[in-house]
Amino acid sequence: MLPTVARVLDLEVMRRGLPQVVAGADHLERPVRWVHVSELPDVAGVLQGGELVLTTGIALPDDREGLARYVRELDEVGVAGLVVEYGRRYFDSLPRALVHAAEQRGLPLITLRRELRFVAVTEAVHALVVNAQLEQLRISESVHQVFNELVVEGAEPPEVIRQVARMAGAPVVLENLAHQVLAHDTAGRPEAELLEDWERRSRGVRPPGRTGHDPRSGWLVTTVGARGQDWGRLVLVQEPGALPGGEAHPHTMLLERGASALALNRLVVRDRESLERQTHRTLLSGVLTHALTVSEVALRAQALGVPLEGRRLVGVVLRQRRGPIPAALEAQARLRDFTELAAGAVRACRLSALVGALDDEGVGVLIALGAQQDEHAALDAFSATLRRMSAEAGRENAPVPAPVVAVGSSVGSVRDARRTLLEATQVADAALHDAPGGRAASYYRLPDVRLRGLLHLLRDDARLQTYVERELGPLLAHDAEHNGQLVQMLRIYLEQGRNKSAAADAAHLSRPSFYDRLHKVERILGVDLDQVESCLSLHVALLALDAVRR
C-alpha cells in the first residue's frame, strides 16, 4: 500500500516540524503517491492526483474567494493533502477562509510550526512510495504466479476462492447474477455470520464499474464473466473503513485475477456440469453422508436461494431406464443433460428445490414445499413436466424411455431430509424393473413397489443372498455353463401367471419347445412347477436376484 497522509505525518522528519492538522482530520487515510513542493497559486494545473503539496503560502491569494478557489482546485485534481509551513507568510494561524474551505472539502490541511528542509521530507516520502511500489510489484508477481498455476492445473472454483481468501485475509463469496451463493470461503470467520441474509445484503451493494469498492459496506466487488457474457460476482467481504477504497484498494488486483481464473475455468469446463449444479450436488451429498451439519445445510441452501427451514421437504430420485451401456464420457454427458433437464422442470413448475447428481446413474431432488402448496399436485406437475421435456429432448436426439420418478415420504425438518432422500433412492432402484408406461400414476412411492421394494431394502442381507442361491443356484450355474436362457424362461412363465400358452407366446417359442424348457427347469431345480408354493418361492427368488444384482 502507498503511504497515507497519517503515515507521512508520523515520519521522524515530519515530526521535527511539529505538524498540526487544522482541517480534514477525518481524511488522513488518503494515499500519498508523490510529494510536490510549490508556491504557485495555480499549481493544480500541473498535478495528477495523490500528491502531498508542501508550501510556505507566500504566494497564496489574500481574498476569501481566491483561497476557496485554490482549495477547490486542489481537491478536484485529487491531491492527498496540503502542508503549510509557518514563518514566511503565516506565523501562528492560517486564514479562516483557507481552513473553512479545506474542512468543507474534506482536504487534509496541516501546518508546520517549525521550519523544515522540504527536500528531506521529499526524500523520506519518496523512499516510502518507491518501497511500496516495489512491494506491489512483488505481490503482483506472486498473485499472477499463484493464479497461473491454478488455471494450468484446472483448479475448481472452490480452490480459486480459497486462494483469494487466503491472500486477502478476508472472506470471499462467489455469487450468481441472482445474488445466490455458489461458493465461498469464510477465512476463519463464522459461516452463519457471512451468509446470513446474503441476498438482501448483496443486492444493496452496487459499486460502479466492473470492479468497485462500496464504502458503506466495505465490500470490494468485481464482475465475473468472459466473451461479453457476465454470470456472477466475486465479493471480498470487509468491514467498512477497513481498507481504502477505489483504485487504492490493495486487493483490487487480487480479486480481478481471481475473477479471471474463474471465468477461464468456466470456459474450459463448459461441457461439464454447471457450478450451480455442483453446489446443489455438494449439499445433497452432505445431507446423505452427514458431511455437513443440519445448520450448515440450511444456511448454505438459504444463501443459494432454496430455503429449507420451516418447509415440508420431499426427496425425489430420478433414474433413466437402462438401455445400451454407453461409453464413460457419453454416460457423463447423459447424466449432466438429465440433471439440467430436472433443474429445468423444477424451474418450469416454480418449485424451490436442490437438484444434483447423486451417483453415476441418478439425480436427486430435495423439494421444499410451502404451507400452501399441495404435495401431490406439485409432484404430479413436476413429473409430468419432466416426462414432457424428456420426450422433447428425445425427439431432437435418440428416443429415450420415460424416466423413473421415485418419491420419499415428506418430512418437516432439515434433520430428516436424509430419510426422505434415502427412501426415494430405495423406491427408485426397485421401480426400475417395472415396465415403462405400465401404470397410471406419474411417480412411485414406497407402497407402489411392494414386495420388490422390500427385497431391495434387504438386498445386502446375507440371508437373502443365501436364499437366492438355494432356490436358483443350480439353474444359474447351468445357464452360465451352457450359455442358456432357462432362468429367463422361468421368469416369463411366472410373470405370465403360470399360463403356459401365454408364456410360450411371450417367449416367441412354439409350445412344445417352451414346455421342454420348463421340464428342464424342473429337473435341474428338483421342483414341480404346477405347485403354487414352489412357484411363489421361485418368483420371490427371481425378484430378490434382481435386487441383489442391482
φ/ψ of 19, rounded to 5, equals -70, 145
Is residue 486 within 8 A of residue 517, CB to CB? The reply is: yes
Mean pLDDT rounded to a whole number for the chain: 86
* pLDDT level of residue 402 (50, 70, 90 thresholds): confident
Give the Cβ contact number of residue 507 at 10 Å.
18
Give the Cβ contact number of residue 22 at 10 Å.
17
Cα(363)–Cα(18) distance, rounded to whole angstroms? 72
Give pLDDT, residue 240.
81
- 350: amino acid identity, one letter: R
* pLDDT level of residue 355 (50, 70, 90 thresholds): very high
For cell 445448520, name the residue. Answer: 295
In this prediction the pTM is 0.59
Angle between helices 462-482 and 486-495 in degrees, nearest 10: 120
Residue 478 in grid coordinates? 447351468
The superfamily CATH assigns to domain 154-268 is Dynein light chain 2a, cytoplasmic (3.30.450.30)
Contacting residues for 375 by C-beta, under 8 A, at least 6 apart? 312, 314, 369, 410
- Return the minimum-mean-pLDDT range out of 311-315, 319-323, 331-335: 319-323
Give pLDDT, residue 434.
64
Angle between helices 294-303 and 275-289 in degrees, nearest 10: 160
Q: Residue 364's beta-bridge partner residues?
A: 317, 356
Report CA 167 to chain centroid distance, whole Å: 20
Give pLDDT, residue 396.
53
* pLDDT > 50? residue 389: yes
Give pLDDT, residue 312.
94
Eight-state DSSP code of residue 355? E
Q: Where are the beta strands (DSSP E) in 105-214?
A: 109-112, 172-176, 181-185, 211-213
Cα(50)–Cα(36) distance, rounded to whole angstroms? 10
The superfamily CATH assigns to domain 5-126 is HprK N-terminal domain-like (3.40.1390.20)
pLDDT tens per residue across span 15-31:
998 999 999 999 998 98
Pick the CATH number of 276-456 from 3.40.640.10, 3.30.70.270, 1.10.260.40, 2.60.40.10: 3.30.70.270
pLDDT, greater one: 369 or 142:
369
Q: Where are the beta strands (DSSP E) in 179-273?
A: 181-185, 211-213, 220-226, 229-236
Give pLDDT, residue 267.
72
Give pLDDT, residue 271.
45
- Return the minimum-mean-pLDDT range out of 103-117, 215-229, 325-339, 450-464: 325-339
Give pLDDT, residue 69.
93
- 275: amino acid identity, one letter: L
Q: Residue 444's beta-bridge partner residues?
A: 406
Give pLDDT, residue 299.
92
Question: Strands across the sheet with 352-357, in order?
Answer: 352-357, 362-369, 312-319, 404-407
- Return the minimum-mean-pLDDT range out of 43-47, 165-169, 268-272, 492-496: 268-272
Mean pLDDT of 181-195: 91
Burial 185-209 (b: 16+ CB within 10 A, else e): bbbeeebeebbeebbeebeebebee
Percent of the chain with pLDDT over 70: 91
Cα(222)–Cα(225) distance, rounded to whole angstroms? 10
**What is the Cβ-side half-sphere exposure of residue 191, based on CA atoms within 13 angstroms?**
15
φ/ψ of 537, rounded to 5, equals -60, -45
pLDDT, greater one: 19 or 456:
19
Cα(319)–Cα(207) distance, rounded to whole angstroms? 45
- Parallel, antiparallel or unpaired: strands 172-176 and 34-37: unpaired
Angle between helices 118-152 and 157-168 in degrees, nearest 10: 160
pLDDT tens per residue across span 79-88:
999 999 998 8
Please state the domain extents for the chain: 5-126, 154-268, 276-456, 462-549
pLDDT tens per residue across span 224-261:
987 678 889 999 998 886 555 554 567 888 888 888 88
Mean pLDDT of 191-205: 90
φ/ψ of 228, rounded to 5, equals 80, 5
Cα(299)–Cα(278) distance, rounded to whole angstroms? 17
Burial 344-363 (b: 16+ CB within 10 A, else e): ebbeebebbbbbbbbeebbb
Cα(33)–Cα(78) distance, rounded to whole angstroms? 11
Give pLDDT, residue 462.
83
